[in-house]
A and B are shown apart, each in its own frame.
Chain A
Amino acid sequence: MKRFKMPPWLVLLLPAIIILSAVVLIPLVLSLYSSFTPYKLTRPESLYKWIGTFNYEKALGDTKFWAAFGRTILLLTIALNLEMLCGLGLALMVSKVTRGQRALRTAMMFPMMFSPILVGFQFKFIFNDNVGLVNNALQSLGITDMAIPWLVDGKLAMFAIIFAEMWTSTSVFAILILAGLFAIPQDPLEAAKVDGCTPIQSFRFVTLPFLMPFIYIAMAIRSLDVARAYDIVQIMTNGGPARRTELLWTLIGRTGYVDAKMGYANAMGYISIFLAIFFTIYFFRKLTAARAELGMGV
């Protein structure tokens, strides 16, 4: 009897297949499957009960879920735009620096070097209503004599979170846009000067179109980042007060691990993935269009 012999390509690919299955495929399939069960961490046998799309229907009808969904989009929109504007301003200023620019560029990356958890703790302290730096500073300057409840008031808490996000990640935009600024050919800018452009017009009509691809790359990266925002929020407000800063992934994390409803959490997770996919596709479309605009091909 001839022994079964695997074809060589399969043998060679096998290590990769095994690792990918163990790390990606099996968890993916398992989580997808569990989203169709009432799986609770506390009752393992519930994993074997098939309930169809019940979890998905429940999530889509859940106001808490949609509130978190909307809040995530709000955070994404505000944070991304502010970071883009600040990053652009920062990059424009740094690009004009003639001495010590390298050191400055390195310093600009410092916020990205901290773990988001630590950034969360740092801003939790800064915005603390009793001992926080902000309130102390405001009171010492005599601007207010009240303790402003930064992390307790719903709107202020959202502001504090956006502020922390910006502090960490504006440099992502600044660095990518700076790279874009260095890559701009000087000739069209000089032509614009001769053609009668003021510096602002040169920026608007020549520099900015050149920068758009870089801005969209930064946007695509950051939109994924913010869409999965978890750590900073978890530390600073834990989704509170009264769920007013609850984002998608803090809600999903709470549902899965605190309430132990893993099946339901997985279903919400799969719906949320579409948000990230949507933003990625959106910004890559924009990127392609901006590159085509510059005649850079696609």
Chain B
Amino acid sequence: MAQVHLKNVVKKYGSLEVVHAINLDIEDGEFVVLVGPSGCGKSTTLRMIAGLEDISGGDIEIGDRVVNDLAPRDRNISMVFQNYALYPHMTVQENLGFSLKIAKFSQSEIDAAVQNAAEILSLTDLMDRKPGALSGGQRQRVAMGRAIVRHPDVFLFDEPLSNLDAKLRTQMRVEIKKLHQKVKSTIVYVTHDQIEAMTLADRIVIMRDGHIEQIGTPLDVFEHPVNTFVASFIGSPPMNFLEAQIDGGKIILQDGTALTMPAGYAANEGQKVTFGVRADNIMPQNHAMPAGNNMALVEMEVSLTEPLGTETLLFAELAGSEVQAKMLNPRPVQNGERLTFEISLDKCHIFDAQTGNALKAQ
């Protein structure tokens, strides 16, 4: 068990810098998820922690050791790869025990550790099979088993679920969460799927273009995104953004619609802003929006509906932009139907239109 510290870690390929001096402190036993779009540097960061990529600057510490120049085998980490990376010529048993065999453990110790891992991941019936004879989910479990037999200081997961189908992914997500509760190790997990990030993480690290945009608990980044990027990346469907201006204590949308301004933004009078609100906070009137909220009423024409069973997503146009709204307790809605929607102003976000950074309520 160990903490992981990244101090001004830089990664360059030739003259191209892909990770820009990032700082990250991961507590012992913490489950941290690095999330971001493709090419944001999250996998590179993970591979630098693993030692599979050299670092071009800064320090990486695992436990109390600076591991910059240590080979992966000396870092006491284990890693689960996106493509599982099982050894195809070894049986499940041999795959699980391989790292211990390399570390020259006695056969009885190896057997015990392998047996233990196999029980945790219910692999006991598959021990004599080779990876070629396993399904995707089973391979994934073997890959995880291979990681846990060694009792490493840190587990690294590199998009471990992205090759699985949707149903299996949900199932394995739960398995990983349970695994973390059982082994209580530090876990660094990379994914581009914000739902995985939200459900698994103790803390989420949102990255873009080699920078860390925000670090926080899932609820924290969901409720208080620091900028429009984080706001659009976290949460599904993505947050609606509307260009607006603060004028006379009201938020004026581009078509002149005036919304009551949430408290605390008086200092930003006259500023151009981006008004952000999630679909969960735009609902047709009298449609289960919690009472007592500070509401704005707007009338919109529904252009498209996506029924999801327990709720229905409504697409409509407001002030020239498409917005998504949600209807709990769904009823059939015709395209082109005009409805009055409530926007919960307490749950909306106001960003600087230029920089995209969230404006703090005073």
Q: Which residues in A have some Cβ–Cβ distance to B below 8 Å?
A: 185, 187-188, 190-198, 201, 205-206, 209-210, 293-297
Chain A residues with Cβ under 8 A from B72's Cβ? Answer: 193-194
Residues of A within 8 A of B51 (CB): 193-194
Q: In the bound complex, do residue A188 and residue B88 qualify as a contact, i.e. CB atoms below 8 Å apart?
A: yes
| Contact A295 to B131, CB < 8 A, known contacts A187-B81, A187-B85, A191-B81 | yes
A193 and B73 contact, Cβ closer than 8 Å, known pairs A205-B98, A295-B130, A295-B133: yes
Given A201-B102, A205-B98, A295-B133, the answer on whether A194 and B52 have CB atoms closer than 8 Å is yes
| Contact status of A195 and B99, CB under 8 A, knowing A187-B83, A188-B86, A294-B88 | yes
Bound state CA distance, A192 and B131, in angstroms?
Answer: 16
The answer to whether residues A191 and B102 also contact, given A196-B73, A197-B73 and a CB cut-off of 8 A, is: no
Q: Chain B residues near A185: list those with CB within 8 A.
A: 83, 85
Give B77's nearest chain A residue, CB to CB.
Answer: A194
The answer to whether the Cβ of B141 comes within 8 Å of any Cβ in the partner chain is: no
Cα separation A196 to B71 with both chains bound (whole Å): 9
Beta-carbon nearest neighbor of B133 in chain A:
A295
* Interface Cβ pair total, 8 Å cutoff: 71
Indicate if the CB atoms of A196 and B81 lie closer than 8 Å. no
Counting contact residues on chain B (CB < 8 A from A), the size range is 20 to 34
**In the complex, which residues of chain B have a beta carbon less than 8 angstroms from the beta carbon of A210?**
89
Instruction: Give chain B nearest CB distance to A289 CB in angstroms.
Output: 11
**Measured CA separation A185–B83 after assembly (Å):** 10
- Residues of A contacting B: mostly: helix
Query: Are the CB atoms of A205 and B133 closer together than 8 Å?
Result: no
Q: Assess whether A188 is in contact with B85, with CB atoms less than 8 Å apart.
A: yes
Proximity bits, B64-93, A CB within 8 Å = 1, else 0: 000000011100011101011111110000
Q: Is the CB of A196 within 8 A of B130?
A: no
A297 neighbours in B (Cβ, 8 Å): 132
**Given A195-B146, A196-B102, A295-B132: A188 and B87 interface contact (C-beta under 8 Å):** yes
Which residues on the A side are within 8 Å of B98 (C-beta)? 192, 195, 205
**B103 in the interface, Cβ–Cβ < 8 Å?**
yes
Choose from A188, A190, A196, A294 the contact partner of B99 (Cβ within 8 Å).
A196
Residues of A with C-beta under 8 A to B150 = 195-196
Query: Which 5 A-B residue pairings sit nearest by Cβ, starting from the closest?
Result: A295-B132, A187-B85, A195-B99, A191-B85, A196-B73
**Shortest beta-carbon distance from A199 to chain B in Å:** 9
Q: Are A194 and B87 in contact (CB under 8 A)?
A: no
Query: How far, in whole Å, are A188 and B132 apart by their CA atoms in the complex?
Result: 14
Q: Which of B88, B103, B130, B132 has the most CB of A within 10 A?
A: B88
